[in-house]
Structure formats: C-alpha cells, structure tokens
Structure 1
Amino acid sequence: MFTKLGIEAPVIQAPMAGVSTAELTAAIANAGGLGFVALGTFSVADASAVLDKTHALTDRPFGVNLFCHEPARRDFEHEAEWLQLLGPEFDRFSAKPPAELHEMYPSFRVHDDLLSLLIERRPPVISFHFGLPRADQLQALKETGAILLATATNVQDAQRIAQAGLDGIVAQGWQAGGHRGVFDPVDPARDEQMETLTLLEKLREVGLPLIAAGGIMTAGDRRAAMQAGASAVQCGTAFLLAPEAATSPDHRARLTSTKTQMTRAISGRPARGLINRLMQLDEARAAAYPMAYDAAKALSAAAMARGDHSYAAQWAGTGAAHAVARPAAQTLAAISG
C-alpha cells in the first residue's frame, strides 16, 4: 500500500495529539517509516504552520490524522452535574470549576476550512479517528490521490470503512494507548475489547490491508502482528520517550513504572493512559466528549499551578514499561529490524 511512497520500514508513528511534533514526524519519515501529524485538535492556522514546519524538516512523505466524531450533542444538565462532582477536586487547589463547558475540538465533519487546506496541501496519506468524514468530504479527499485510512476496533466499523472505499484499516487493539477509535460512543459493556492479534484475525475477512495498533513495542511484536495478517504496524507508546516527542517531564518519569487504565473520566470517550486521580471518579457520570475534556484540562491546569500533576492526561498503552529513551530513528530501527 505504501510502496509507491517509498516507505522502507513497515512502521507507522501513531498521530498522538498533544505529543506528536513536526520533529518526531520528520524523524520517522527521514528514517524510512511513515510519520504522522495529528491535526485533530488544531485550528486551520495551526495545521498550516505544523505542515510547513514538517516539510522544512523532511522531504519524505508523511501523513495527517483527523478526528471524525459525531458533533457534540449538548446536555447542559448532565454537564453541570459533572462539574458539580468535580467541585471537591477543584477545592483542593482553591479553584472553581468552569461556569460551563465548551466543545473544545470540533469534528472534521463540520470543519470545511480544514478540508480546503488539505485539498490545497495534498498530504499523501490521511487517516481518520472516531469515524469517517461526510461523503462529500471523503470524495474530495479521494480526488487528491491520498491514501485514506481509518481506525476500527471491531468488525462493524471495519466493514463501514471498506464500504466507504478507503484504502486500509488501522486495527486498534485493546492494548493501545490514547483514545479508542470507536465510531460511536457506546456503553463500555458493549465494547468487545479485542486485543490486537485477535482483532487482526477478525478483520482479515473485510479484505482491506490492515495496520496493527496496540502493544507494538519490539521487533517481535511487529513480526507477530504481521504474521497475523498486518501489512504494517502503528506505534505510539514506543516513541513517547524519544527526545523529538513533546511528552511532558512527569509523563516521561512515570511511563515505565505506572500501570495504565482505560477510562472515560478524562475526555468523555474511552481512552487508555497512566492511572491518575481523575480515573478514580465515577466515569459513568462523565460529560460527553469533548466537553468532559474541557473540565479535565481546567482541573489539571489548576493542579499543575500548585505543582500537582496527578490529574494530567498521560496517554500510554499497556506496553509502556518497555518504552526506551532514545532517538525516534533508533526505536524505528529496533522495531522494524
């Protein structure tokens, strides 16, 4: 699938919003892998700037990633209840919760200014998380000639990706750090929680090239995934300790010694990260995505102003203990070897 782009290593750097940088993307691209720029949280101006910066650091192909969640359905009463529940946590830092929550990250599905930028800039690979764009957006991106990918955590979403005419599927196993790519927010009890190799086996029948994501930390992990049917692997946690990543000092310090947990309490959508104080709250009462994230970021900011990092969202997969602090190119070589 990536042969025409000259990608030498079957390793993709996961588009980790908040941690990925132009330097990380370029380092992966220059080392023969496929780097990704995470645009899901960016304004058009910021997206344009990071694309410019990445192009200045590499002349190799790289991809961009977009969030395609359903636009928020506001429930102001529910949001107020979540803020009330968080009140005692804010009190610990003599701070008050926000008066109201905001939809921090608009979906690409309602972000046609960003679509125009991508049509103009023509990135060679575009991936989607949380769902798919509108049909007209998807057609416009197909016409740019880009390779189009989307994340699936189950057979149903994979079938929707195939029916939409995309080129490949990122098969995101339960071990993966960061947000689950489920198309629709669902009761966690309905999530099959398939691990990566099991998911690959299930998705082979869909008929599209598969990219394994979740728990890929070593060359052995890569080989196992490719033997199970993956054409390539996508790694995020493995690159968190790279100097090119924007991983915070506290996140780096805790990465290899702290367990991870899947939670809705931070953002309103299931996501795996290093266990923190927010994860101890009743996640069933969390506001919807991304409004819950607005509350979590406000609380984390209040805490960090007092030197407390125990509310920070520090996304990581189950393989975090095996992360190695070294340049991204060296990690890429170790996994692809």
Structure 2
Amino acid sequence: MLRKFLNIQYPIFLAPMAGVSTPKLAAEVSNSGGLGSLGLGSCNHEEAKKQIEQLKQLTSLPFQVNFFCHQPEKSDATLENQWVQYCCSKFGRIDLMNNFSQAFSCLYSSFLENDNFLDLIIQEKVPAISFHFGIPSKSQIHRLKQANIVTMASATNLIEASYIARSGIDIIIAQGIEAGGHRGVFNPNIDSAISTLELVFLIKNNLSIPVVAAGGIMDAQDIHDCLRVGANGVQLGTAFVQCSSSKASETYRQSLFNSKVTQITATISGRPARGLVNDWHLKIDSPDRPLTPPYPYTYYFAKKIYEYTRQPQYAAFWAGSKVSKIKKMEAPDLMKSFIENVDF
C-alpha cells in the first residue's frame, strides 16, 4: 500500500535528520529503492532551496523533506541568565559566562510562522513532506493536498496520531521512545514514552491510516518486528548517521561506535531528545536543575558552548537506543542488507 502510494520499491524511509542529512545521502537511499529525506528544519529559505535542487540533480526518484511545526516561543532573558549561570557552574567553566551577555538567538523558525517554506515546496514540486513537533495549519495542509504532495507527521501517542488523522495528513510516523534525536511530542511537557512496537500496534488498532514505525530500528530483524505488528513501513536514522555521505563530523561518527548508551534530555535544546550520554546528561540533569529557556533558544546556548570548546562532552550527538548495533556501512549497502533480509 505504502510503496504504491509513494511510488517507491521498498517501504524504507531515511529519517530526516536536520543538520546531518545531505542531498547525497538522501539520493543514495532513494536510488536504492527507499525514500530518501532532507531535514530542512534548521535551514533558511535559500539553504532549503539549494538542498532540494541538489537532490533533484542526484535522483529522479521520490524523496521527502521535513520541517518543524513547534509552537513559536519568545526569548526570556531571566530564564536565559539563570541557565547560563547554572550550566557554566555545573560544567566548572565559569570562563564561558562572558560569551553570553546578549539574548539567545532563535535558531529555527516554525513552519507555522510563515508560508515561505510552503511556497518553496509547492514551487519545487517536492513529492512528500513530513512534520515534527506538531502539524501545519488547515490552510497549509489544504495547499499541500491541492499540490498533490504526500503529507506525513510524527506522533508519539494515540492522541497525537488522532490529530494527524483528522487533519487529513496522509501518513503517520509512529515515533517510539527508542528514537534518536528530538521526540516529536506536540507538547514538550507531555510525553507518553511508548515503545515503537507498542505505538504502532496501538495506532493500527485504532486508526485506519498508513503507519511508518520509527525508533530503535537498526537492522533487518528490527524491520521485521515492526512489520509483524502492523507497520506499513519503517524509518531509520541512527543507522545512516555513520555513512560518509552524511554531514556528521568524524568525532560524531566515531562516538557512535565507541558509545553504547543513550539517554533523553531536554537540557541541550529545550525539548526532549535522545543522544549519546555526555556532560549534559551527567552534570546538568541534576534534581536542582532550573527551568530551561524555551526551544530553540536553549539549543542556541548548547551549540555555542560546543562551538567555543570543541569538546565532545558538550556536543549533541543524537542517537537511538540501539546504537550498540550500529555497523560501518555505506547507505547503498545498508539498504541492500535490509532488502535482502526482509520479506516485504
């Protein structure tokens, strides 16, 4: 059903990893029979346009792009000053405080805030689009449907899935608690923490809409398990981060093989996200932690800390819970290993 709907050979999606996905990696997955993707939530209009155009030069097959649909927040100077003092103290790096005398910047705009990205997607005739942290407005969804663009959105529980289904969006990405990177929760204060397999089963037994499983999927056996409980397809991210065609740094890639444990924290970005355990988890997530500034202002601070220090204990190396199963393989070889060992 999903393969025919999206015109792909195999229901294997590349997760749209903002900051890590590249046109080359997306093309490798699409050209291997899956659905490549570009995570464009961290891009401005011109950057997004450039990546889409580059991808089109590398493949004539379907692909998806992804944007954030978080509710826009305002900067809070009081929270920001408190956060700087707390984190620098816990890190034992009071020397860094002088670098944060001005307000935090809003790194990422929401798809909800303006229609510039929407216009771009329609003009470029992008085959499919997905959303994280929520769903677009009714008028935005209507325009996407009019343009015959396949729409998808992440759900972390049944209520979010129901919102997606009622909105007219075509496909639900069922993101389990095992997933690396940011949780797709609509409200960052509410997380049902459901496993991928349980979430897929729950949605399939309550809603009649295609469901793609995401979270903790690293190999053919994981894919088989998801299909067994009713998933129409699967989405993988961490398994592809190590590919040379991703934008991950060499330090990031090597850390995936050296680290065996991940943990969820909201201290890096202001929203819960799963990554390799480092000083953010071990020093900042203590019981006396104050409120974080709203997303994405907190993320600005974390990125600046890493920019100043270039030390991996301050980095955001997002990864799923089964990172210990990661294999050093290029994207076409990974796709081949899935296709040859799963009965789709």
Shift in Å, 1:222 = 0.5
Change (3 A) 1:210 1:122: same
Matches within 5 A, 1:85-234: 85-88=86-89, 89=91, 90-91=93-94, 96-186=99-189, 190-204=190-204, 205-234=206-235
Count of matched residue positions in the alignment of Structure 1 and Structure 2: 331
Matches within 5 A, 1:1-337: 1-88=2-89, 89=91, 90-91=93-94, 96-186=99-189, 190-204=190-204, 205-258=206-259, 259-279=261-281, 280-282=283-285, 285-304=291-310, 308-336=311-339, 337=341
Change (3 A) 1:284 1:221: farther
Deviations 1:161-218 (A, max 9, x none): 00001111000000000000001121xxx42211100111111112111100011111
Equivalent AA in structure 2 for residue 58 of structure 1: T
Deviations 1:20-65 (A, max 9, x none): 0011000001111000111111111001100111111111111110
State the TM-score, normalizing by the size of structure 2: 0.93
CA distance in 2, matches of 1:40, 1:96: 26
CA distance in 2, matches of 1:176, 1:92: 35
Equivalent AA in structure 1 for residue 263 of structure 2: Q
CA distance in 2, matches of 1:7, 1:193: 31
State the TM-score, normalizing by the size of structure 1: 0.94
Shift in Å, 1:322 = 1.2
Change (3 A) 1:111 1:2: farther
Conserved 8 A contact 2:88-2:96: no
Aligned-residue CA RMSD (Å)? 1.5
Equivalent AA in structure 2 for residue 274 of structure 1: L
Gaps of 5+ in 2: none
Please state whether the residue corresponding to 2:239 is helix, strand or coil.
helix
